[in-house]
Structure 1
Amino acid sequence: MTTAQSPTAGAPHGSHRNGRVSARARDLHLTDSVRSARHDARAQGGRSGEWMPYLPASGSPHRPPGVDPATLVWAETVAPGGYTHKVLARGTRLRFDDPTGDACAHLLLYNALEPVERLNVADTQKVPWQAYLGENHPLLSGDGRVLAVVSADSSGRHDAFCGTTTDAWNERKYGDARPEGPSPSGRGLFLKAAAKHGLGRRDLPPGVSFFQGVRVEADGTLGWQGSAGPGTHVELVAEMPLLVLVANVVHPLDPRPEYVVGPLRVHAWRGTPTGPGEPRFTATPELHRAYLNTVDYCEARGL
């Protein structure tokens, strides 16, 4: 748990924080020539950090139980106040773990082939007749297709109402919203992730978040439930080729005055999409139709 981003491990001459290297390396003249800079850079090889992607993914020290390391295609620990992104093939299993009980995984999903098709939170709540995310809940696009489905859930504390934080919100509450600052906003981090895939501000729809629960109270207000505690996880199945954007930031309804968020572990491994023989494929008429739309789209493209 932290109130700011952790230093990047592997900086042997002082800390590297928010993009600013301490003066110690400069004072020791370790990078005052091309030769010295190359030597200093190569000396960092093999070092690891508390928050980092693991390359190759099979080398992750936090591999989920029962997962063959040879099937892993993504393994990463996302820093508190950090973000990540990935393109995943259809059928990929995607797992988020909250090791401390303070992670909050804000998520945006896009059709990786045509990113104009993206997560539609209203349909995600409306089509299954259920506003609360949980096991077997589909994450739907505005085109009536299943982008992904929640295949496992040990947390039960999620949110499809509030979206993520904005710069204005964080500046008001924490006094800062810079992506490199002590209290970055989810929208600010999503914008950075989206830009790496040619997307911009207008391409950021409302999203969902995992590990910090929200419920509608009897009077219609939204009540923050917080976390289910450390050691919970959520797994998704990618029913289409996906572009995944993740921001690990505080929930906008978190009542704590400090910017409190913990690390988030992410793993993905090769698998198969939901098939007609699985119960959720035909669980309801609405979901059956969404799956038929999804299969039709994917099979026409040879996926």
Structure 2
Amino acid sequence: MATGTVTTYGARDHARAQEGTRADAMPVLPASAWPAPPEGVAPDALVWAETVAGGSYTHKVLARGTELRLTDLAGDACAHLLLYVADRPWERLNAADTVKVLWNAYIAEGHLLLSDQGRVLASVVADSSGKHDALCGTSTAARNTALYGDGSPQGASPAGRELLKLAALKNGLEPRDLPPSLSFFQAVRVVADGKLEFTGSAGPGASVTLRAEQPLTVLIANVPHPVDPRPEYVSSPLEVLAWRARPTAPGDPLWDATPEGRRAFLNTADHLAARGIQ
């Protein structure tokens, strides 16, 4: 132990001296202090600004209308995402319905992320990656232990499900509350024989922006995709930015893009109106 921290006072002084220290991966508080807000977004509109290290996780409760941008900084991030309605977490992301109702297994701009109530949780309003996955979910402790020798959340190769459990617990949720997640920035394709082919990332700097169509609890684990064939545990930093904006409204092209999407937005609007949420 360092000499300066052998006493309680020394430990306190050492801890206080760390104030203002910046690490490569950490949240920025307040978010308005983020040095490079997205184009057209005022710094005081930012509500979340964080860099999530590879093999780590984050979480936040976001207001309806908030826009959330995820960026793959170095080309090897993989953001495993779960969404819950903030005050009623039994309504949550349903990856199967997201694929089934919208007739599309490959997430891209204009896609809607649905709950099992037929309502929109979030919409994809921008995407420069095109490398996402709604089929495989995230990695497990058993899978990572078999591949890398360890899948524990504090180990060298944490599994996505183990990290999402931690994020869930910090929001009053239990392991049984974790449905299959969506993966952003690492993709698979279904080939002719029905097998999944890993197609990797779009490279450094790709981003995707989601719009919260209801108040949401957001859980994110940044870990390798479960069918990534590389023998090493490869996971690079993920940038997370969110800012105040407006939810999708009637007349927006996204609202009327498909009959299924329009019905999902109408279901959402009806539900929110009954609860007095504008």
State TM-score, norm by structure 1.
Answer: 0.90
Task: Please give the alpha-carbon distance, in whole angstroms, between the structure 1 residues aligned to 2:211 and 2:266.
Answer: 16
Task: Please give the alpha-carbon distance, in whole angstroms, between the structure 1 residues aligned to 2:196 and 2:35.
Answer: 38
The equivalent residue for 1:246 is: 220
Report the Cα offset of residue 281 of structure 1: 0.8
The equivalent residue for 1:235 is: 209
Q: Which letter maps to 1:67?
A: V
The equivalent residue for 1:63 is: 37
Task: Please give the alpha-carbon distance, in whole angstroms, between the structure 2 residues aligned to 1:278 and 1:258.
Answer: 44
Would you say 1:131 and 2:117 are equivalent positions? no
Task: Please give the alpha-carbon distance, in whole angstroms, between the structure 2 residues aligned to 1:177 and 1:302.
Answer: 44
The equivalent residue for 1:52 is: 26
Q: Pick from 105, 110, 116: which aligns with 2:90?
A: 116
Q: Which letter maps to 1:266?
A: V
Determine helix, strand or coil for the equivalent of 1:288. helix
Report the Cα offset of residue 30 of structure 1: 1.7
Task: Please give the alpha-carbon distance, in whole angstroms, between the structure 2 residues aligned to 1:62 and 1:191.
Answer: 31
Kindly provide the CA deviation profile for residues 55-81 of structure 1, in whole angstroms up to 9, marking residues without a partner as x.
010111342222211100000000110
Q: Pick from 237, 262, 269: which aligns with 1:295?
A: 269
Q: Which letter maps to 1:173?
A: L
Task: Please give the alpha-carbon distance, in whole angstroms, between the structure 2 residues aligned to 1:47 and 1:63.
Answer: 20
Report the Cα offset of residue 241 of structure 1: 0.3
Determine helix, strand or coil for the equivalent of 2:254. helix
Task: Map residues 58-97 of structure 1 onto 2, 5 A cutoff.
Answer: 58-97=32-71
Would you say 1:160 and 2:134 are equivalent positions? yes
The equivalent residue for 1:218 is: 192
Q: Pick from 239, 244, 255: which aligns with 1:270?
A: 244
Task: Please give the alpha-carbon distance, in whole angstroms, between the structure 1 residues aligned to 2:57 and 2:78.
Answer: 11
The unaligned stretches of length 5 or more in structure 2 are none
The equivalent residue for 1:176 is: 150
Q: Which letter maps to 2:222?
A: N
Task: Please give the alpha-carbon distance, in whole angstroms, between the structure 1 residues aligned to 2:47 and 2:191.
Answer: 40
The equivalent residue for 2:164 is: 190
Kindly provide the CA deviation profile for residues 245-292 of structure 1, in whole angstroms up to 9, marking residues without a partner as x.
000000011111000010000000001100001112122221111101
Report the Cα offset of residue 131 of structure 1: 0.9
Identity, in percent, stands at 62
Kindly provide the CA deviation profile for residues 225-256 of structure 1, in whole angstroms up to 9, marking residues without a partner as x.
00111111000000000000000000011111
The equivalent residue for 1:142 is: 116
Determine helix, strand or coil for the equivalent of 2:189. strand
Report the Cα offset of residue 89 of structure 1: 0.3
The unaligned stretches of length 5 or more in structure 1 are 1-25
- Equivalent pairs counted in the alignment come to 277
Q: Which letter maps to 2:85?
A: N
Which aligned segments of 4 or more residues in structure 1 are displaced greater than 4 angstroms? none
What root-mean-square deviation, in Å, do the aligned CA atoms of Structure 1 and Structure 2 show?
0.8
